[in-house]
Amino acid sequence: MSNLRSLFYQHCAQTSPTPLELEIIKAEGVYLFDQNHKKYIDLISGISVSNVGHCHPKVVKAIHEQVDKYMHLMVYGEYIYSPQVKLAKKLSSILPSHLNTTYFVNSGSEAIEGAIKLARKHTQRSELISCNNAYHGSTLGALSIMGNEEYKNSFQPLIPSTKLIRFGEIEDISLITKHTAAIVIESVQAEAGIRQAKPEFWQKLQQKCAETGTLIICDEIQTGIGRTGKMFGFQYANFSPDIITLAKGFGGGLPIGAFVTSSKIMSSFTNNPILGHISTFGGNPVTTVAALATLEVIEEENILPSIPQKADLFKKYLEKAPHVIDFRQAGLFMALEFDSFETNKKIIDICLSKGLITDWFLFDSKSMRIAPPLTISIEEIEISCKIIMDVLKNL
């Protein structure tokens, strides 16, 4: 065992009994390189993070320039500094006009925590509704609205007044009442294995929330930043949220999250008490320049218009491939379903040995996750699909 590997087992926390043990020394574009200089295609973007590819030169340049100026300031709406202001303005310019105020945090879980607190404070209600098989993060608040009892049980008691509905089931919308502060929902369910709801579900949900004064918190942590082919997943599913949460791909590889809402709703954090939400590092100058550069790359490199063609190519290769029971897709967000976890795991392991990184989903272990950097080229898609096809044909 290499020295680094043995130190990893001695000193780093492991959350599964069988770590992947990939020892990575470099990353660039869609590629990761291990200590033996073996090249891997990262077909999951470090779980929906490297949407503009690993170490995009423009993102790296912005970070370098910023660390030479200043790296840390008091961040939570007290000091005025251009990286944070420019990013908040940029977000407002690409979002519907009512989503005009941003609170920056450091991760997806924190964005969810902030959004939940804000919705409860603004509505003066405590009940929260979320969906079966939804993952919104691992902190206690986010865990309380997780759509899977098995993952919650060992950590009870969690926050009270939470309810689950079935994602996409119109009937269940009736559980939303005048006591419900917010529904937290993904536009495309990620960890459930890329599940989508019909347009009628979103219409009815929107209608019910308007009637009951319930806020819609759309978790855009995996669907945001171009993943579905639209900049945000709610634009793909076509509904209008009151609050959105961002993280993962937002920082182009650096840790930043955010929740965005109207100035009216966000003002609930300003008084009674003042400093209703505080973060030491959220909106850090270095992470905000990385996020701004990431959004600019998506626009300047015309990434969104390129997604339908790339998505179609994946579909063409994989939809009818041997052993595939179902192929689900929202842009470059895909699930390949097999008959069992064992089959899926075997395919994932062989792909890895051939230099292709895929994964399964937290709540759908029979399905293979495919969520490549959005910058992946046509040729890299062909290479990736040919590896998968080859594995499936020889299984």
Residues that bind ligand PMP (CB under 6 A): 107-109, 112, 135-137, 186, 190-191, 219, 221-222, 247
By C-beta, is 136 or 310 nearer to ligand PMP?
Answer: 136
Q: What is the DSSP-derived secondary structure letter of residue 147? A: S
**Is 162 within 8 Å of 144 (Cβ atoms)?**
yes
Dist. CA 229–CA 374, nearest whole Å: 9
Q: Could you tell me the smallest distance in angstroms from the CB atom of residue 167 to ligand PMP?
A: 12
- Give the Cα separation of 3 and 69 in Å (integer): 37
Q: Tell the smallest beta-carbon distance from residue 3 to ligand PMP (Å).
A: 29
Coil, helix or strand at residue 41: strand
Residue whose CB is less far from ligand PMP, 236 or 306: 236
By C-beta, is 190 or 374 nearer to ligand PMP? 190
And the tokens for 350? 């062989």
Least distance to ligand PMP from the beta carbon of 283, Å?
15
**Closer by beta carbon to ligand PMP, 235 or else 306:** 235
Q: How far is the CB of 387 from ligand PMP (least distance, A)?
A: 25
CA 102 from chain centre, in angstroms, equals 17
Nearest-angstrom CA–CA distance, 98 and 79: 24
Residue 175 has a CB neighbour count (10 Å cut-off) of 15
Amino acid at 35: Q
* Closest CB to ligand PMP: residue number: 108
Pick the closer one to ligand PMP by CB: 48 or 180. 48
Residue 211 CB, shortest distance to ligand PMP, in Å, is: 27
Residue 335 near residue 12 (C-beta atoms within 8 A): no
In the complex, least distance from residue 111 CB atom to ligand PMP, rounded to whole angstroms:
7
Q: Is the peptide bond before 273 cis (omega within 30 degrees of 0)?
A: yes
Task: Closer to ligand PMP by CB, 215 or 247: give it.
Answer: 247
Strand partners, 2: none
Q: Tokens for 21, please give them.
A: 């043990």
Q: Least Å distance between CB 232 and ligand PMP?
A: 13
CB neighbour list of residue 195: distance below 8 Å, 6 or more residues apart: 133, 167, 168, 188, 189, 328
Q: How far is the CB of 248 from ligand PMP (least distance, A)?
A: 6
Shortest separation between residue 115's beta carbon and ligand PMP, angstroms: 11
- Residue 219 or 242 with smaller CB distance to ligand PMP: 219
Closer by beta carbon to ligand PMP, 166 or else 346: 166
Cα–Cα dist 318/310, whole Å: 12
What beta strand segments (E) does the chain contain? 24-28, 31-34, 39-42, 101-105, 127-131, 162-165, 180-185, 215-219, 243-246, 257-261, 326-329, 334-337, 356-357, 359-361, 364-370
Specify the residue, 52 or 184, whose C-beta has the smaller distance to ligand PMP.
184
Which amino acid is present at 323?
H
Q: What are phi and psi of 68, to 5 degrees?
A: -75, -15
